[in-house]
């Protein structure tokens, strides 16, 4: 069985998993090292609170669209 969290932790890029409420469920090792936020303090927090710069990039709008439509954002 594949341990997805372990797999994501070994990526050499940042990876986060969010829920439909845009709260962070998972934050990989790369994100911890480059954000200086402890991996244990991030889950459950809104992504736009943890990474406020995403709002300027329309991330929040596109993420909500993905959850609403069930497919990738355009």
How does pLDDT run across 16-59, given as a tens digit for each residue?
999 999 999 999 999 999 988 988 899 999 999 999 888 778 88
| Number of domains into which the chain is organized | 1
**What range defines the domain where residue 53 resides?**
4-69
- Report field, pTM of the whole predicted structure over 0.85: no
- Whether residue 14 lies inside any domain: the answer is yes
* Calpha distance 73→54 (Å, rounded): 15
> Is 74 within a domain?
no
Query: How far apart (Å, rounded) are the C-alpha atoms in residues 68 and 64?
Result: 6
User: Is position 61 within any domain?
Assistant: yes
Predicted local confidence at residue 25, as pLDDT: 95
**CATH, residue 58:** 3.30.450.20
CB atoms within 10 A of CB 8: 19
Is 16 part of a structural domain of the chain?
A: yes
Q: Answer positive or negative: Cα dihedral of 64, 66, 70, 73.
A: positive
pLDDT digits (tens, 9 = 90+) for 58-73: 888 899 999 998 887 6
Residue 17 lies in a domain: yes
């Amino acid at each position: 069985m594949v341990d997805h969290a372990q797999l994501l932790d070994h990526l050499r890029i940042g990876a986060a998993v969010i829920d439909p409420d845009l709260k962070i469920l998972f934050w990989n090792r790369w994100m911890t090292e480059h954000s200086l936020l402890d991996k244990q303090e991030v889950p459950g927090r809104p992504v736009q609170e943890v990474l406020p710069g995403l709002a300027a990039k329309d991330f929040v709008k596109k993420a909500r669209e993905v959850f609403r439509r069930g497919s990738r954002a355009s």
